[in-house]
Structures are given as structure tokens and as C-alpha cells.
Structure 1
Amino acid sequence: MTTNPSPDLLNRRESFYRELEPHAMAALWTRLRRLIPTEPTPTGLAHRWAYATARPYLMESATLISAEEAERRVLLMENPGLPGTSRVTNTMYAGLQLIQPGEVAPAHRHTQSALRFIIEGSGAYTAVDGEKTYMEPGDFVITPAWTWHHHGHEGDAPMIWVDGLDIPIVSFFNGGFREEFAADEAPVTRPAGDALARYGTGLMPVGYKAPTLNSPVFNYPYARTRDALYALLRAGDPDRHAGYLMRYTNPVDGGWAMPTIATMIRLLPAGFSTSPYRSTDSTVFICVEGSGHVMVGDQRLEIQPHDIVVVPGWARYTLHAGDDLVLFSYSDRVAQEKLGLFREQRF
């Protein structure tokens, strides 16, 4: 049973709190509910970046700065609820990168893990840890932490992709740093497609020991992914909260393809709408093909090919397909699962 404190006691409490401040102390009971809320609190806002709006700015940037001068010619997607942070969610980064024919984005490496999800173009490549991979729209490409990598373009039209990185997670641990390579291009020592042939066919070299927590496959071609998604249409009904949802896996152990970024892709058949869902991971969606909309609470976000949508963690949302809708997504779910923090709710 609680009693109402007297005015004198209330005044003394306030002076007590002020007296603690010069000693770098505070009373926990004044902050406990903010430190440990009754349920997760969404961070950032739901938002849509229309590709039709972003692309002209990205193309104009090529007239203002070269890929070499910029190092990476990228327009970042900053959550309007997290201004000045360069974050798309509280733990993730997102940007649209452009490389023009004949350009090279110089080689470097960093402790942050990166993914590339290809939006448009053909003929460009990324070279990762001694192997080139040529990229096509819909491909999911991994750049593991602390691997030398550079990008080049041997085609004849602009190449654009989404960069997703775990920069905020690494920054939280004060573990972010980088190194420049001595030349624009790092050495290529293996033929293109080597990693996919060795590790991506359901086979694995005898005696192979994984050097990192990342998948040894670093390009998951969309042609294969799309075939797998559409095969599910013939195998049964979609999950009512997720549609036909698949995750990219590490063939070594069957786990997530990356140690800090969970990557998934889903198909929603034409006219299908999901039941309401929420989870503790803030999620970035990229429309691969088709159209529809996302409802986040009462907010409706239309989605067309190449649009980017962010949904804050623990915000209730539904997905709605006009025609067949394919969505790639990434979040910090894998990190939350490893720490025992991930929760989801299906309504």
C-alpha cells in the first residue's frame, strides 16, 4: 500500500536528485520505466522511398562527383524519425549506390558487414576477397566484414543497387574501422562463379572449414531464387502472416547467410493480404517486382518495383499484393536471435 508523500518529502527528493548529478549518479527509480518498458518501443518511423523520386537524384550525382572521388557514390536512406544519424533503422544502414560504365569504386575493407541487393543494370561486378561476381537485378550479394572489395563496370548502362550495412551495430561496440587498399583494384585470384560452384549447389569440398561466420556463397542469383519462390505456389497455401517467405542460408550450417543481418525474400500472390504481424526487428523491404501496399497501423505506403519501405520494430503491419509481389527484406533479426531478444506476435 502506497501513501502520498508530503510536500516537504517531495521537495527533498528533488534536491536529492540534483545533488547526485555532480557525482555522475542518478536514482534508478526515476528512470526504470524508460530503461525497461512494459513492451518494446518502436524506434524511427515507417517510411517509403519511391525509386521514381530517388533515381533522378542518383543520376544527377554522377555529373557532380566520380565514383573514384566519392569512393562510394551513394545516396543514403535516412529514417525521418532518426534525423542526422545516417540510419534507416536503429541498427541498420541503407543507401542507393550508382556505378557508371568504365568506373571503378576503389578497393577497401572495413569491419562492418555489407549486402548488395541489385536494382537495375548489367555488366557491373563486385570483387570480394579475390573473386569477381557479375551482378544482375534481384541478386543478393554479400561483402563479409574485413574482406578487400571493389566494384567495377564493364557494361554500357548505369548499374544501381541497395547497400545494406550493420554500421550502427558495429558502432555500438566501438568496433568500426577501415583500411584502404594500395591500388584501386584488389587482386582477383579465382574465376568468377567459383564460390557458387563450390558451395552453392548442395555440395561442399571435403574437409572445408569456414573461416568466418558468413556464407561462403557471396552471390545468390535471383534467377534461382525466383524459381524457388514460384515453385512454392504449387506446393500449398501461403503463410497467412508472411506469404511464401524464405530466408537466405549459409550452406555450411544452415543458419543465416550473414552473422548480423537477416536476409529474406517472399512472394505474395496477386490479391493476397497478410494478417497483422509485428516483431522486435525493424525491417527494410525492397520491392523486386510487382506492386501493392504496406499498412503500418493506419498509415498506407504504396509500393512499386525498386521502392524501399522501412517498418519500425514492434509496429503492427500488413502486406497487400496487387499483382504478384516479390519483396526482399533485411533486419537485425539474426543478431537478436543470437542474444535471445527476438520476439514476434501474430494477430
Structure 2
Amino acid sequence: MSWAMSSLLPIITEILPMILPSTTEVTHADQLKPMLDNEGRSIRDSAIVGKCDKMCASVLRIPPNSWSPIHHNSEQDAIINVVSGTGTLVVKEGFKGELRHHELHPGDFAFVPAWTEHQARNDSDQDLVWVITQSGPRPVGAILTDWGGQEIKTIE
């Protein structure tokens, strides 16, 4: 990069947000749209999806004594933030790895790498609510028959 071009970078970064159209998006709780329902055992709602190409957010709600399907998020990494309830994040580390159980409480965060098989479990008597941020414009992945099992449904 030439000296002249590098000297323009600070100016460009200040002007660019003023030139490019952008809009702040707000999704209120009563506007959440279900995108995946596991026969009532877990419900995943779209919160902020398709607004940019680098990330999206959804809300996972799991009633008492219920669980999500065993799944992976394909090529997307995910960050989980526990909003309410106590639950367990079960993960299979690697292809032949054993299952690891991570108990999560309100305020906790967890990072789930791409392609990692995992499941959310709620063995308590209260609802479990997680906000999940994924590294793509909309959540993707696949539901599996079992740990290391076949894909039975694609999440798109």
C-alpha cells in the first residue's frame, strides 16, 4: 500500500459509515419467530437473522425435563449465553471423543466450535433459555440420529 493510500485510511473509516446505508435492527421478544421445534422438547426462535453476513442470533427455549436434538452447526462456530435456568451442554469432542457434560447457569457463556456434535439438556423443573450467536447470516447445521450418527435433517 502506498503512503498516500495509507494516509487516507483514517478518513475513509470515518466517512464510510455515513455513506453506506445501515439500519439498527431491534427484535422484541413478542416478535421472535420459531424456526425449529423439536416436538415441544425445545424451541429455537430467530432473533436477528439475515441482517449481515458474519453473524446471527437465536433464542433456544427448553421446557423442564426436555432436551434439544443431537446436532452440529456445520461450518459455524457458536457462542451460548445462558439467560435463565440451569442446563447441561453435552458435547462430543472429536470423532471418537467421549461425551463431556458442562453445567451452565445464568450469566455463563460457552463456545462450541464448528462441526462439534452437541445437545442442550434441561433436567430441572424450570425453563431453560439460551441466546445463541453463530458465525453466519443464519443458523445452519444438521440434526443427527445419535452421537456420531447419520444426519436426519438439515438446519437452514
Distance 1:177 1:67 in 2: 15
Q: Does 1:91 align with 2:61?
A: no
Tell me the amino acid that sits aligned with residue 68 of structure 1.
N
The structure with the largest strand share of the pair is 2
Aligned length in residues: 127
Instruction: Return structure 1 stretches of 4+ with deviation > 3 angstroms.
Output: 40-44, 47-50, 69-72, 176-180
What percentage of aligned pairs have identical amino acids?
22
Higher relative contact order (CA 8 A, sep 6+): 2
CA displacement, residues 204-258 of structure 1 (integer Å, 9 cap, x when unaligned)? xxxxxxxxxxxxxxxxxxxxxxxxxxxxxxxxxxxxxxxxxxxxxxxxxxxxxxx
Shift of 1:92: 1.1
Shift of 1:161: 1.2
CA displacement, residues 318-347 of structure 1 (integer Å, 9 cap, x when unaligned)? xxxxxxxxxxxxxxxxxxxxxxxxxxxxxx
Aligned counterpart, 2:24: 46
TM-score by length of 2: 0.65
Aligned counterpart, 1:115: 79
Aligned counterpart, 2:151: none
Shift of the 158–44 alpha-carbon distance from structure 1 to 2, 3 Å rule, reads farther
Shift of 1:105: 0.6
TM-score by length of 1: 0.32
Shift of 1:70: 7.0
The structure with the largest helix share of the pair is 1
Tell me the amino acid that sits aligned with residue 98 of structure 1.
R
Contact 2:41 2:68 in 1 (8 A): yes
What is the 5 A alignment of 1:224-263? none
2:38 to 62, 65, 68: 68
Shift of 1:88: 4.6
Contact 2:83 2:106 in 1 (8 A): yes
Q: Does 1:164 align with 2:133?
A: yes
Distance 1:72 1:42 in 2: 39
Q: Point out where structure 2 has 5 or more consecutive residues left out of the alignment.
A: 1-11, 93-98, 149-156
